[in-house]
Amino acid sequence: MDLRYTAAEEQFRTELRAWLAETLPTLPEKPDTGDWAGRRAYDTGFQRLLFDAGYAGVDWPKEGGGRGSSPVEQLVYVEELERAHAPYVGVNFVGLLHAGPTIVAEGTPEQRARYLPPILRGDDVWCQGFSEPDAGSDLAALRTSAVRDGDDYIVNGSKIWTSHAEVADFCELLVRTGPAETKHKGISWLIMDMDAPGIEIRPLRTIAGATEFAELFFHDVRVPVANRVGQENDGWRVTMVTLSFERGTAFVGELLQSMELLHSLREVDDADGSPNADRIGHLGAELDALWALTRRNVSEAARTGVPGIGGSVFKLAFSELRQRIGELGMDLIGRGGLSWDELDGPAWSRSAGGPGNAELVDTWVNSFSRTIAAGTSQIQRNIVAERILGLPKG
């Protein structure tokens, strides 16, 4: 066991840090949460800067146009971006972490050439059309149908919880190409152009009041057969490839951000005589431990070449921990947490060195999605019990 980085990794870190120090001050002001056009421009603008500097798709293989870095360098990359408070991956999430890597692994040469470069350049934004009203945790129960008509599929049905749908150019879409009773064996993975006729988008309002995700309705939408990734009815296997990327380092940025947030909360608490030191220290020990676990998972991925199942252990622990940090923030600011907007006030204001009340409210409210999105905690427990511990399926 070794916590030191190689000279090459340190070199990578130093160069990236210098580039970030130079680049971040040149970024435009961050847009409001509700300003989707502005958010798209901001997130893709930063992606373009990364691309021009050679940092787009750090962990993508070279043949996909990425940098081909090791999992350890990818970790250093995420760590440095977070420490420098660089913009989050934002609307580029599905393209960079889901659809892109899936097309690299499973796509045809034509698909790779057509779809990968614009993701890396920040030209194209993707969304994920997996979940349906009647197929959430039981994703394989999905019913959106795709029927062959010459060189096209004709798609009918609906999707739900599609994040960033309003600003997306493409959708990674799971459809049923076999009879309903085929379940896992009748699914295909398609690339759908979001400008195709027959797609209706209805934004959904989240508990944070924002429109982070939407419902999609499909009325005879034509998707070329050439846009299928993998074989017909082999989409479930392709999906498992997609989801394995998500368990890699997708949550590391938020882990590091949580550590910084806890540090600020400790300062707020100290200013008040440290009444919550036990609780803060406990959460701190847990965050440190999950950072340790992350580095062990990355070590394993570096050896085996694939993100391991340890990601499920991490996701389960971190999503619940994130909620408890959210609760701590709310408890510390007391009645300062009763407004969505920034308040001027003593203990909870930025002048005390801590985050503002609005940021803490936002952290707390959004933490509730962490145990639901990307596989609920109950489903993660099933996965850990069945795939790691080998307990029988119920």
Q: List contacts with other proteins (CB under 8 A).
A: 1-5, 9, 72, 75, 262-263, 266, 274, 277-282, 284-286, 288-293, 295-296, 298-300, 302-303, 310, 313, 316-317, 378, 380-382, 384-386, 388-394
Q: What are phi and psi of 217, to 5 degrees?
A: -120, 135
Beta pairing, strands 213-224 & 152-163: antiparallel
Token pair of 90 as six digits: 């934002």
Nearest position to ligand FAD, beta carbon: 136
Residue 49, classed as helix, strand or coil, is helix
Residue closer to other proteins, measured from CB, 85 or 303: 303
Q: Does 24 bind ligand FAD (CB under 6 A)?
A: no
The reply on whether position 218 binds ligand FAD by CB under 6 A is: no
Q: Which long-range contacts (CB under 8 A, 24 or more apart) does 289-296 make?
A: 290/255, 290/314, 290/317, 290/318, 290/321, 291/255, 291/256, 291/259, 293/317, 294/75, 294/249, 294/252, 294/255, 295/3, 295/75
Ranges assigned E (strand) in 140-212: 145-149, 152-163, 170-176, 187-193, 199-204
**Cβ 382 to other proteins, closest distance in Å?**
7
Of 136, 178, 203, 345, the one binding ligand FAD by CB under 6 A: 136
> Which tokens hold the place of 300?
């394993």
- In the complex with other proteins, the residue whose CB is nearer, 300 or 342, is 300
Contact of residue 181 among ligand FAD, other proteins, none (CB under 5-8 Å per partner type): none
Options 22-30, 121-129, 144-152, 384-392: segment touching ligand FAD (CB under 6 A): 121-129
Reading the block at residue 375, the tokens are: 């596989």
Cα separation of the two ends of the chain: 38
Q: Which residues pair with 191 in a beta bridge?
A: 172
Nearest CB to other proteins, comparing residues 129 and 329: 329
- Where does this chain touch ligand FAD (CB under 6 A) — which range of 17-25, 37-45, 123-131, 263-271? 123-131
**CA distances in angstroms from 150 to 111, 123, 153, 190, 192, listed in the order given:** 20, 30, 8, 16, 17
Please choose which of ligand FAD, other proteins, none residue 326 contacts, taking the beta carbon within 5 to 8 angstroms, the exact cut-off set by kind.
Answer: none
Q: Would you give the binding string for ligand FAD spanning residues 331-370, x where CB under 6 A is met?
A: --------------------------------------x-
Contact (CB, 8 A) for 96 and 123: no
Judge whether 232 counts as a catalytic residue: no
Closest CB to other proteins among residues 30, 303: 303
- Site size toward ligand FAD (CB under 6 A) is 21
Under a CB-based contact definition with an 8 Å cutoff, are residues 208 and 268 in contact? Answer: no
- Which residue's CB is nearer to ligand FAD, number 111 or number 376? 376
Which positions lie near ligand FAD, rule CB under 6 A?
A: 127-131, 136-137, 161-163, 212-213, 369, 372-376, 378-379, 382
